[in-house]
Amino acid sequence: MPLLLAGTPADLDTAARRLADGSLVALPTETVYGLGARADDDVAVARVFAAKGRPSDHPLIVHVADVAAAERYAASLPPAARKLMDAFWPGPVTVIVPRRADVGAAAAGGQDTIGLRCPGHPMARALLERAAALGVHGVAAPSANRFGRISPTRAAHVMEEFAALGEDELAVLDGGDSAVGIESAIVDCSGATPRLLRPGSLSRETLRAVLGELAERDEASPRASGTLEAHYAPRAKLRLMGTAELRSGIELLGSDLKSAPGSQPVLALYSRSPVAALLPGKRLPERMLHRPMPDDAARAAHDLFADLRELDAAGVRLIWVETPPDTSDWEGVRDRLTRAAAA
> Of 27, 228, 179, 188, whose CA–CA distance to 94 is shortest?
188
Residues 198 and 251 grouped into a single domain: no
209 and 87 inside one domain? yes
The pLDDT tens digits for 87-100 are 999 999 999 999 99
The pLDDT confidence band at residue 255, using thresholds 50, 70 and 90, is low
Q: How many separate domains does the chain show?
A: 2
User: Is the same domain home to 68 and 196?
Assistant: yes
Let me know: does 331 contact 203? Beta carbons within 8 Å.
Answer: yes
Residue 259 confidence (pLDDT) above 70: no
The structure's pTM equals 0.95
Q: What is the pLDDT of residue 256?
A: 67
User: For the chain, what is the mean pLDDT?
Assistant: 94
Q: What is the pLDDT of residue 7?
A: 92
Q: Identify whether 130 is part of a domain.
A: yes
Kindly state the percentage of the chain with pLDDT values over 70.
98
Q: Determine, yes or no, domain membership for 224.
A: no
Residues 243 and 212 in one domain: no
Q: Are 175 and 155 in contact (CB under 8 A)?
A: yes
Residue 79 is assigned to a structural domain of this protein = yes
**Beta-ladder partners of 270:** 291, 321
Looking up residue 272, the CATH number of its domain turns out to be 3.40.50
Distance CA 183, CA 37 (A): 18
- Residue 231 in any domain: the answer is no
Q: Classify residue 222: in a domain, yes or no.
A: no
Indicate whether 57 and 188 sit together in one domain.
yes
Q: How far apart are CA 224 and CA 96, in angstroms?
A: 8
Residues 180 and 319 in one domain: no
Q: 227 lies in a domain?
A: no
Whether residue 228 has pLDDT greater than 70: yes
CATH number for 187 = 3.90.870.10
In a shared domain, residues 256 and 328:
yes
For helices 9-20 and 122-133, give the axis angle rounded to 10 degrees: 50
**Within a domain: residue 257?**
yes
| Residue 223 within a domain | no
pLDDT digits (tens, 9 = 90+) for 157-173: 999 999 999 999 999 99
34 and 130 part of one domain: yes
At residue 260 the predicted structure's pLDDT band, cuts being 50, 70 and 90, is low
One domain for residues 167 and 289: no
Q: Which of 216, 246, 261 is a domain's end point?
A: 216
Long-range (24+ apart) CB contacts under 8 A made by 153-157 are 153/32, 153/33, 153/177, 153/178, 153/181, 153/302, 153/305, 153/306, 154/33, 154/178, 154/306, 155/4, 155/26, 155/28, 155/33, 157/33, 157/305, 157/306, 157/309
Q: Quick check: helix, strand or coil at residue 4?
A: strand
Same domain, 37 and 123: yes
Q: What residue numbers bound the domain in which 27 lies?
A: 3-216
pLDDT in tens, 136-152: 999 999 999 999 999 99
